[in-house]
Amino acid sequence: MDEAAFRHALAALRADRRHGASELARQALALLAASCQSLAALDDDRLRTELERRCCLLAGCRPSMAVVANLLQLWRQRLYQPAAAAGKLADGLAAQAQAVAAASLAASQAAARHMARRLRPGQCLITHSASSTLRLLFAELAPARLRLIVSESRPLNEGVGLAAELLRLGHEVRLITDAQLGLFVAEADLALVGADSLLVDGSIVNKAGTRLLALAARADGVPFYCCCEGFKVTAQTRADLAREQMDPAELGHDCLPLTAQRNLYFDCTEASLVSAWVTEAGVSARPPAPLTGC
Amino acid sequence: MDEAAFRHALAALRADRRHGASELARQALALLAASCQSLAALDDDRLRTELERRCCLLAGCRPSMAVVANLLQLWRQRLYQPAAAAGKLADGLAAQAQAVAAASLAASQAAARHMARRLRPGQCLITHSASSTLRLLFAELAPARLRLIVSESRPLNEGVGLAAELLRLGHEVRLITDAQLGLFVAEADLALVGADSLLVDGSIVNKAGTRLLALAARADGVPFYCCCEGFKVTAQTRADLAREQMDPAELGHDCLPLTAQRNLYFDCTEASLVSAWVTEAGVSARPPAPLTGC
């Protein structure tokens, strides 16, 4: 993976609207593993310097997704450990990138299993956006045939793809516009979302619209759960949050000047609206603590 | 207007997604006026019977829009009054239909003027859907150059047309997805919507998404106003509400079976979320009373 290929992959990661935060974080680690292998001919000092530079670029590319920076920071802590054997530093760092990605996937799977144990067949869930952790959950629960209400999640409508996947799994599905969240939430036993980041106070950074679902759930007495890997917790507060603004052309309204359109991707749901946080550590009414060292 | 033409016009009214409740109510009155003229050759008894039948069909065609039934009921009360002169019943009833429509328009204009007096140049307003009463208000306030945040209002995006109109009037406009309402409401001095109906307790029946805006406004301490003609007040309660379900094909997701999609047009915003109701009677912190006889 030479510099041009790396830059190209970095730009693709920055522009990716299809994959969730966990998936993008694991892709970033895969880019580092590939970089280790292609830079293996460098001496150890130059290898570390070059990898650190790439790691920093990757860590900053999706500021609303704490899991990207967190997992890269976990890997970076190993960068200056001595190599197991002479000339083996690159191999060792590549293996560690793969190990961190595997730990992230295992954490998401464990969170999904904890959540699954809280659900009963035939229960009605409402969700917004399309979290990869919830996809693991819904796949595991396919024989239970849940009743799922899914919002389309404008502008890119990832909820439509999720609804199609859930239908294939055999669940009962109702796809609604985001605007109907306040109409349908009262029919649900539980509102359930993933997260792009969890702030230190338990607030949830997630696709715009999540906060509206949480407000409606609170108004209608429906519990609101957030399920994701603990690697998403950040020491950031709401004041630190970058507001990721995507291309307004994604809204698809060519008749209006783009300067008069806004496309903020993520909103922040206050912790007071969250009934429980579900991570690999289990289901808790208290927000998970940030990872040490991240 | 023979029976076939009337049936055709009735079907168009039922399917109309472009015009607001007030405009459709006035169109229904125009259909009655045209019916009066085309049925004028009937004797008075048969004329009344036929007009009453058409009036009932029109009154039931948009159950979420109380103003349609209310204005038609006002006209219907005059149906059995004696004609001013022999053979003049049809002319008199046509004129009365036009007078009721004019009263409705005048009420909307008066409500818009009361609201306008509450606003100052440069204030920031957030709105959802595209109310004809608010259009009157925004046109009147064009020299004041408001800052307006408008949601697209899926599925048919009437907010996009409103945003274009507001830009032409010289206001500063930001068009957002419905999902971003919870992000942008905190920037507004006031949230402002029209209504399709006002229930007797002050709850607002309006385009789906209105309730989410009201919940977010309450959470962020932004006043939430509803501005419309008093002819929209109905004695109905939330339990009486018909849930108008439109064609799910309007969502535009051909990849999913239509049976798995929902397209409910109206939600109901609880009166406790409303800061003030603005009608031709003025601005009030108490909901307007229903019209007597409606």
Q: What is the pLDDT of residues B126-176, one digit of tens each?
A: 999 999 999 999 999 988 889 999 999 999 999 999 999 999 999 999 999
- A122 sits in the region (left: phi over 0; alpha: psi -120 to 50; else beta) called left
User: Kind and range of the H or E element at B207?
Assistant: strand B204-207
Distance in angstroms (rounded) separating the CA atoms of residues B268 and B203: 6
Q: What is the ipTM of this complex?
A: 0.92
Give the residue on B whose Cα is nearest the Cα of A260.
Answer: B174
The chain B residue lying nearest A185, using CA atoms, is B212
CA B60/CA B66 separation, integer angstroms: 10
- Cβ contact B208–A182 (<8 Å): yes
Element (H, E) at A21: helix A21-38
User: By CA distance, what is B168's nearest residue in A?
Assistant: A256
- Can you give the pLDDT at residue B243? 79
Those residues whose C-beta lies under 8 Å from the C-beta of residue B266, and which sit 6 or more positions away, are B64, B196, B205, B206, B207, B208, B243, B244
Decide if B56 touches A, using CB distance below 8 A.
no
Nearest to B212 by CA among B200, B202, B201, B224: B224
Q: Would you give per-residue pLDDT tens digits along chain B (294 residues)? A: 899 999 999 999 999 888 889 999 999 999 999 999 999 999 999 999 999 999 999 999 998 899 999 999 999 999 988 877 777 899 999 999 999 999 999 999 999 999 999 999 999 999 999 999 999 999 999 888 899 999 999 999 999 999 999 999 999 999 999 999 999 999 999 999 999 999 999 999 999 999 999 999 999 999 999 999 999 999 888 888 877 888 999 999 999 999 999 999 999 999 999 999 999 999 999 999 887 654
Domains of chain B: 3-108 (1.20.120), 114-284 (3.40.50.10470)
Q: Cα separations (Å) of B263 from B189, B243, B247?
A: 31, 10, 7
Inter-chain CB pairs, A–B, below 8 Å: 144
- Which residue of chain B comes nearest to A162, CA vs CA? B256
How far, in Å, CA of B273 to CA of B276, rounded? 9
How many angstroms separate the CA atoms of A180 and A194, rounded? 20
Tell me the nearest-neighbour CA distance from B212 into chain A, angstroms: 6
* Mean pLDDT of all residues belonging to chain A: 94
d(C-alpha B214, C-alpha A240), whole Å: 27
Exposure of A120 by Cβ count < 10 A (0-12 exposed, 13-18 middle, 19+ buried)? Answer: exposed
For residue A288, what is the DSSP state? P
B286 dihedral zone (left: phi>0; alpha: psi -120 to 50; beta): beta
Q: Report d(CA A104, CA A289) in Å as an integer.
A: 16
C-beta of residue A216 within 8 angstroms of C-beta of residue B182? no
How far is the alpha carbon of A52 from chain B, nearest alpha carbon, in Å? 35
Interface test with B, best of A148, A211, A272 (most B CBs within 10 A): A211
Contact of A174 with chain B, judged by CB distance below 8 Å, is answered with yes
In this prediction, residue A277 carries a pLDDT of 98
Read off the pLDDT band of A290 (50, 70, 90).
confident
> In sequence order, what are the residues at sequence separation of 6 or more whose Cβ sits closer than 8 angstroms to the Cβ of residue B127?
B134, B148, B149, B150, B151, B159, B162, B191, B192, B193
Give how far A263 is from chain B: nearest CA, Å: 7
Q: Is B141:B113 a contact under the CB 8 Å cutoff? A: no
Residues B256, A183: C-beta atoms closer than 8 Å: no
d(CA A104, CA A21): 11
